Amino acid sequence: MWLLDTTTYRLRFEQDPSHVSYTILSHVWDVATEQTYQVCTSSRRLVRELNAKIRDACAYARSRGHRYIWIDTCCIDKTSSAELSEALNSMFDWYSYAEVCYVFLPDVEDDEDPAPSHSGFSCSLWFKRGWTLQELIVPRINIFLSRSWRMLGTKASLAKTIARTTGIDKDILLHKRPLHSISVARRMSWASDRETTRVEDEAYCLMGLFGIRMPTIYGEGRQAFVRLQEEILKRIPDQSLFAWGRLWPDFQVLDELLCWSAWLVPGCLPDLGACEAWYMYSTSSSS
């Protein structure tokens, strides 16, 4: 992976991210102003030519003792299809190894309470983008920053608000429950309201959340999501994938039913149809 030196603004290649200390910037792209790997590696490039977001991110990380930072816009050579594919397949690991993930929210002021459901924080565009889903879940520590780079809170301090906004369990956000314990359908539901610029990224941004690695082929369109589903079926014994798109009243019940079914018949896949029938019966009876 390529890391940006927060002092010299030079890129350094690191073969094994687990052997180096670094932080990560999570942000929403502004296509018109983002700067590429080529800009950051230009021998004639001056520091003042870097955009404000990169300079401010480096300054913030540097002030907190971080020498290196990873920023997706400028730390991936997107002209190389091989490097791009490797990066997209490795992002889950990169976020796992990062000491902290700084989340920059340019649409959030620093003088308001982030807790209310109608706050600028809760309504931030960051919560509606596809790639930011794993950037929220995977890092151990997320620090949320306002448009003026002031700290709004951490993932831990804002967990209740984030869980309400995203539908993601607090125990998952705080790493108190393993991701693989959540049904496939429920994990898919976390991405249902999120958007990506490229249609293929609807699938690629979810690979890490399912432990999937597969070639990335920009231009394949919706076939990318079909390939993702095929890989999930090969690797994860969870028939809830077939429930994707159905209206499930309570995904927590679905998770519990899948675990119960698998326990009752060791070595067998949970029968989603039976689970659904049982659930509909139990809820109608209780009412």
CA–CA dist 120, 210 (Å, integer): 30
CB 75 within 8 Å of CB 58: no
**pLDDT of 261 over the 70 cut:** no
At 241, list the tokens: 């994938």
| Backbone torsions φ then ψ of 158, nearest 5 degrees | -110, 15
pTM: predicted TM-score of the whole model, two decimal places: 0.82
Residue 273 has pLDDT above 70, yes or no: no
Which residues does residue 12 pair with via DSSP β-bridges, in sequence order? 3
- The encoded tokens of residue 159 equal 């967990």
User: What pLDDT, in 10s, does the model give residues 133-178?
Assistant: 999 999 999 999 999 999 999 999 999 999 999 999 999 999 999 9
pLDDT score at 237: 77
Residue 154 three-state SS: strand
The CA dihedral of 41, 45, 47, 53, to the nearest 10 degrees, is: -60
Residue 281 reports pLDDT greater than 80: no
pLDDT at 44: 60
Mean pLDDT over 189-193 rounds to: 90
Task: Output the CA–CA distances (angstroms, integers) from residue 162 to 90, 183, 256, in the order listed.
Answer: 25, 20, 23
106 contacts 60 by C-beta, under 8 angstroms = no
Q: What is the pLDDT of residues 12-25, one digit of tens each?
A: 999 999 999 999 99
Q: What value does the mean pLDDT of the chain take?
A: 85
The answer on pLDDT for 287 being more than 70 is no
Per-residue model confidence as pLDDT tens digits over 199-240 = 999 999 999 999 999 999 999 999 999 999 999 988 887 766
What does 194-208 look like in DSSP terms, one character per residue?
-B-SSTTHHHHTTTG
Instruction: Kindly state the average pLDDT of the residues 262-275.
Output: 40
- The whole-number average pLDDT for the span 46-59 is 87
| Gyration radius from the chain CA atoms | 20
Split at pLDDT 50, 70, 90, the class of 43 is low
